[in-house]
Amino acid sequence: MSDPLVQLKIKLAWQAIGRGDLPQAAQEVNEAIAAAGRTAALQALLAEIARREGRRNDAAALAEEVLEEFGPDPLALTVLGQVALQDQRPAEALDRLNEAYRINPGAYLAGLVIDALAGSKKTDEAAAFIADALGRFPADAWLLGRAARFYRYAGRIEDARRTLDALLAREPGNEWARRMQLELKSADRPAEALQSLLAVGERRFDPQLRGIYAKRLKSDGDMAGAAREFEEAARLDPGNDYWRRQAGFAYAKAGADDKAVQFLRPLFVADPSDRYVRNALFAAMKRASGAEEIVKAIDEALARHPDQMFLHGLRRKHAS
């Protein structure tokens, strides 16, 4: 197989990834390897496919093999950085992602570096990096979104607003940006004012506004009310795990453990590495039904994620 045909297979694999067809992507890569042999690009792409399938241990092992066999490779380094981010190891993620960005700077990688800097509590360094990255890639919506999120949680509200305005000028339908913009605009409004907004026309069907109201109730200490509003936001926006996650947390804090389990258990099974979901779920399960249900949930997660070896340790802990 000639190099151009290998490049075609790589292109077809990325197209399959874009469609969410990971088995087809793996098939394209394996066919290229069978005909032309192992290359850094092909092996790193297999690592990326494994990461997207949720097989993080396999993804990290494949990416490490690429570095050992072929030397620094930006995609392999990015895979290792993203695995570290997902496993809440921001310092390690930052090392890997910085190296990848030095080799192949791009807007997507820049956004990941911002996440790693924020996770490492390097606020000043993150702000300086954002200024440089936006100078290089001023029109990239992904990068603008990561920058806005950093500014929001760093308390740089005017920078967040300015960045969101730029993002929404490019993507008027961006729901995440719209939600954050609404949150910033509503930051000083009391819960009663937000409740009045929800009573007007189509606004009562707006999950973003309802979620903002839920957050205000939560900050006011009304966990039961917040949980109900997060649940309603989840009903209005069924494809958004964020609302289900927040509903589960709020129900747990409100002492409604059965409801908390209802929301958190599917999220844990889908992504057992999310320690916040996992800890809240296990605490609610322990209060509601005991360790036996925790073990059952872990078994369900293991069936979907057999490569997540830490689950075996968790199972032993809760089965004893």
Domain boundaries, the chain: 1-104, 121-171, 188-254, 264-320
Report the pLDDT value the prediction gives residue 310, as an integer from 0 to 100. 85
Contacts 24+ apart (CB under 8 A), 287-295: 287/257, 288/257, 288/258, 288/261, 289/261, 291/318, 291/319, 293/261, 294/318, 295/319
d(CA 244, CA 233): 8
What proportion of the chain, given as a percentage, has pLDDT over 90? Answer: 57
Residue 214 has pLDDT above 60, yes or no: yes
CA end-to-end distance (rounded Å), the chain: 55
Q: How many CB atoms lie within 10 A of CB 171?
A: 15
Average pLDDT of the chain, as a whole number:
88
Residue 1 has pLDDT above 50, yes or no: no
Residue 133 has pLDDT above 80, yes or no: yes
Residue 236 has pLDDT above 60, yes or no: yes
Residue 255 is encoded by which pair of tokens?
């002492």
Residue 206 has pLDDT above 90, yes or no: no
Inter-residue contact 24 to 16 (CB < 8 Å) = yes
318 residue type, one letter: H
Query: Which of 15-24, 95-104, 202-211 has the least mean pLDDT?
Result: 202-211
Cα angle vertex 142, ends 229, 250, to 5°? Answer: 20
Residue 28 is encoded by which pair of tokens?
């394209």
Q: Which of 308, 235, 314, 320 is nearest to 281 (CA)?
A: 314
Report the pLDDT value the prediction gives residue 203, as an integer from 0 to 100. 57
Residue 162 is encoded by which pair of tokens?
């300015």
Q: How confident is the model at residue 2 (pLDDT cuts 50, 70, 90)?
A: low
Which whole number is the average pLDDT over 21-27? Answer: 92
- Greater pLDDT, 53 or 249: 249
Q: Do domains 1-104 and 188-254 have the same CATH topology?
A: yes
169 residue type, one letter: A
Inter-residue contact 83 to 56 (CB < 8 Å) = yes
User: Could you tell me the CATH superfamily of domain 188-254?
Assistant: Tetratricopeptide repeat domain (1.25.40.10)
What proportion of the chain, given as a percentage, has pLDDT over 70? Answer: 93
**Model pLDDT for residues 292-303, shown as the tens digit of each residue:** 889 999 999 989
Residue 35 has pLDDT above 70, yes or no: yes
Which whole number is the average pLDDT over 252-276? Answer: 92
Which whole number is the average pLDDT over 29-57? Answer: 91
Q: How confident is the model at residue 262 (pLDDT cuts 50, 70, 90)?
A: very high
What is the SS3 string spanning the chain? Answer: CCHHHHHHHHHHHHHHHHHCCHHHHHHHHHHHHHHHCCCHHHHHHHHHHHHHCCCHHHHHHHHHHHHHHHCCCHHHHHHHHHHHHHCCCHHHHHHHHHHHHHHCCCHHHHHHHHHHHHHCCCHHHHHHHHHHHHHHCCCCHHHHHHHHHHHHHCCCHHHHHHHHHHHHHHCCCCHHHHHHHHHHHCCCCCHHHHHHHHCCHHHHHCHHHHHHHHHHHHHCCCHHHHHHHHHHHHHHCCCCHHHHHHHHHHHHHCCCHHHHHHHHHHHHHHCCCCHHHHHHHHHHHHHHCCHHHHHHHHHHHHHHCCCCCHHHHHHHHHHC
Report the pLDDT value the prediction gives residue 198, as an integer from 0 to 100. 61
Q: Which CATH class is domain 1-104?
A: mainly alpha
Which whole number is the average pLDDT over 230-255? Answer: 90
Confidence (pTM):
0.69
**Model pLDDT for residues 110-124, shown as the tens digit of each residue:** 999 999 999 999 999
Report the pLDDT value the prediction gives residue 173, as an integer from 0 to 100. 85
Report the pLDDT value the prediction gives residue 183, as an integer from 0 to 100. 75
Report the pLDDT value the prediction gives residue 197, as an integer from 0 to 100. 56
**Model pLDDT for residues 137-185, shown as the tens digit of each residue:** 998 999 999 999 999 888 888 999 999 999 999 999 887 888 788 778 7
Alpha-carbon dihedral angle through residues 209, 213, 218, 223, given to the nearest 10 degrees: -100
Report the pLDDT value the prediction gives residue 196, as an integer from 0 to 100. 65
